Amino acid sequence: MRFSADTCMRLGRLDRGRKVPIVGHDATGRASSGASGVTAGRAGASARSHDHSVRLVLWRHGQTQWNVEGRFQGQSDIPLDLVGEQQAERAARLLAALQPSAIYSSDLSRAAMTAAPLARLTGLTVISDKDLRERYGGLWEGLTDTEIRAQYPVEHSQWRPPEGETSAAVADRACAALERIADTLTPGTLAVVVSHGAALRLGAARLLGLPEEFWGVIGPLANCAWSVLGRRRSRWRLIEHNAGTLPEPVLSDDR
């Protein structure tokens, strides 16, 4: 994908001041006694920055039968299939090693079922939040992509489900939920947020401050994959995206 010079400048402004690598610090954040004044100052500033950061792990639910069939799920309450349950168990073992301080989930069953193994491993209670639901697909829900193309060609070309939510509405709803969750966290901790492909991608794009015309630069999440966002000095950045799997076809309502 090639951007114009103006586009590159706009994207560059979004990331200005964020190109400092994440590094570890000791528990006190103090520099050793042998460090120079400059080194100590830099270490102290970096430690304070780390101590005041929070992270969100945005975890998409496991596979469902409608994912396999290519049906638009939206807010239809479709459970995980056997493969999805196995994906959730595997991913939970990896995510438990991050020692999350909280787990939040969409109230739809495929998200709640995905969160359950992580809750069992960590001993945390899953907090349900309706604002983490998937995009409401209106008349598209239950239809395959082929059926949507045939019945709603104009709306499909614009990715605008009749009687459903707009991308902006989903972005606003999910972003508000993510900000609300982040505000509950103690500095230096993280929460796992279990939700859906479009809700997580659009919410993250809004949180990162991307203009709507650039939301598409963030690709969709595979089943049971996750992204990591960090907030530091009141600014968000994308630390990791679509982690947990090797590159594979994405079975999703998202595009």
Residue 249, helix vs strand vs coil: coil
Q: Which DSSP string do the residues of 64-126 spell out, in sequence order?
A: BHHHHHTB--TTS-PPB-HHHHHHHHHHHHHHHTT--SEEEE-SSHHHHHHHHHHHHHH-PPE
Distance between CA 28 and CA 32 in Å, rounded? 11
Strands 102-105, 226-232: pairing kind: unpaired
Six token digits for residue 240: 């990791």
Residue 49, helix vs strand vs coil: helix
Distance between CA 113 and CA 105 in Å, rounded? 10
Q: What is the chain's Cα-based Rg?
A: 20
How far, CA to CA in Å, does 122 sit from each of 34, 80, 106, 115, 192? Answer: 40, 21, 19, 11, 11
Q: Which residues are catalytic?
A: 61, 134
**Residue 215, CB half-sphere, CA atoms under 13 Å: how many?**
20
Burial of 166 (0-12, 13-18, 19+ CB in 10 A): middle
Nearest CA to 84 among 57, 119, 109?
A: 109
